[in-house]
């Protein structure tokens, strides 16, 4: 699974980008979920995103024919878009 991670040192934020076609197995969802949780701890955030939430977001992105899912994590919280 290929995951693009960018850290913006100025804003102290992280952006994770994953192509939709990278979500093939349950393990792929677990990797992203665990990565979001780990980075969230850097900001003392309680990641409110469950595995089921992540699966629904990816399903919605596929339905909308989106190419990737992005997750921004920073002091203001977590934002997932497609």
pLDDT level of residue 47 (50, 70, 90 thresholds): confident
- pLDDT per position as a tens digit, 34-46: 999 999 998 888 8
The SS3 call for residue 82 is: coil
What would the pLDDT profile of 22-33 be if each residue is shown by its tens digit? 999 999 999 999
82 has a pLDDT exceeding 90? yes
Measured CA to CA, the distance from residue 1 to residue 49 in angstroms comes to: 20
Q: Mean per-residue pLDDT for 50-79?
A: 95
Q: What is the pTM of this model?
A: 0.86
The structural domains of the chain, with segments of one domain joined by +, span 4-73
**Are residues 15 and 5 in contact, defined by beta-carbon separation less than 8 angstroms?**
yes
């Amino acid at each position: 699974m290929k995951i693009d991670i960018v850290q913006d040192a100025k804003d102290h934020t992280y952006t994770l980008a994953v192509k939709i076609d990278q979500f093939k197995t349950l393990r792929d969802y677990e990797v992203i979920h665990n990565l979001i949780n780990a980075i969230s701890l850097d900001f003392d955030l309680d990641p409110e995103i469950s595995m089921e939430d992540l699966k629904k977001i990816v399903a919605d992105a596929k339905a909308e024919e989106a190419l990737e899912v992005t997750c921004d994590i920073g002091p203001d919280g977590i934002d997932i878009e497609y």
